């Protein structure tokens, strides 16, 4: 009889200990870090453009070939078809995991000022590294 009582008390102690451990685990968990855009801030420090696309007013590509991305010099060199309407171009960046772009792409963008190329900044997943890329557009010569 005494043995049974002891076993029941042990069980109760075990449950209480488990509850305490789970409470402490919940209490110690850090809040998920979120940036001003509501995006998750991660531990990744990588910061680069991995692909670049440029669409025309008809949402078809205007590139004559793949864009050349220099992640050291932070440049994107893209050649577009002869006759491309440079005032209505839709850039699309592919970035490394967790990174984000500034300014954001919200619609058609004017790339017609070839002497002053547009710049876009890539911000790493941990939001600690920022690299500014210059997009150099060249029109295919006739």
Partner 1 sequence: MSLLGLCLLMTACKDKEYAIPEAKDALQNDCIKRTLGPNVAGLNIEFAYAIALPATRGKIVSAQVEASIAGEATTYLEHRSYYTNGSGEDVGVAIGDPSVNEGNVTKVNFTKDTNAVTLRYFYVIPKSAQGKEVRFTFSAKSSNGETISYAMGPYRISKMDMVLDLPVKNADACFISVADMAVYTEKDAPANADKIDLVYLYRAISGISFNHALVSPGAGAEYLPDITLPPGLNRVTKIRKTWNLRDFHLARLQYGVYIDDLDFEQLDMTGSPDYVINLKSEAGAWVETADGKYRAYIYMNKVEDSKKSATISMKRYTLK
Burial class of residue 140 in the structure, from the number of CB atoms within 10 Å of its CB (0-12 exposed, 13-18 middle, 19+ buried): middle
Give how far Cα 43 sits from Cα of 33, 97, 100, Å.
Answer: 10, 11, 14
Residues in region 84-113 near partner 1 by CB under 8 A = 85, 87-88, 110
Query: Which residue number, 11 or 87, has a Cβ lying nearer to partner 1?
Result: 87
The distance of closest approach from Cβ of residue 92 to partner 1 in the complex, given in angstroms and rounded to an integer, is 16
Which x/- pattern over 51-70 shows residues binding partner 1 (rule: CB under 8 A)?
-----xxxxx----------
Judged by CB under 8 A, the number of residues near partner 1 is: 15
CA atoms within 13 A on the CB side of 135: 28
**Cβ(100)–Cβ(39) below 8 Å:** yes
**Cβ(91)–Cβ(135) below 8 Å:** yes
Could you tell me which residues are beta bridge partners of residue 36?
Answer: none
Residues in region 3-62 near partner 1 by CB under 8 A = 56-60
The distance of closest approach from Cβ of residue 132 to partner 1 in the complex, given in angstroms and rounded to an integer, is 26
Q: In the set 21, 35, 83, 105, which binds partner 1 (CB under 8 A)? A: 83
The residues of the shown chain that bind partner 1, judged by CB under 8 A, are 56-60, 81-83, 85, 87-88, 110, 140-142
């Amino acid at each position: 009889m005494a043995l049974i009582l002891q076993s029941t008390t042990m069980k109760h102690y075990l449950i209480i200990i488990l509850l305490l451990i789970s409470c402490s685990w919940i209490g110690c968990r850090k809040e998920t870090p979120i940036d001003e855009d509501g995006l998750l801030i991660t531990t990744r420090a990588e910061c680069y453009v991995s692909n670049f696309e440029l669409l025309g007013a008809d949402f078809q590509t205007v590139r004559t070939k793949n864009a050349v991305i220099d992640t050291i010099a932070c440049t994107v060199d893209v050649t577009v078809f002869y006759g491309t309407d440079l005032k209505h171009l839709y850039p699309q960046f592919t970035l490394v995991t967790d990174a984000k772009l500034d300014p954001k792409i919200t619609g058609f963008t004017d790339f017609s000022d070839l002497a002053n190329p547009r710049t876009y900044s890539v911000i790493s997943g941990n939001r600690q590294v920022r690299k500014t890329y210059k997009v150099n557009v060249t029109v295919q010569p006739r």
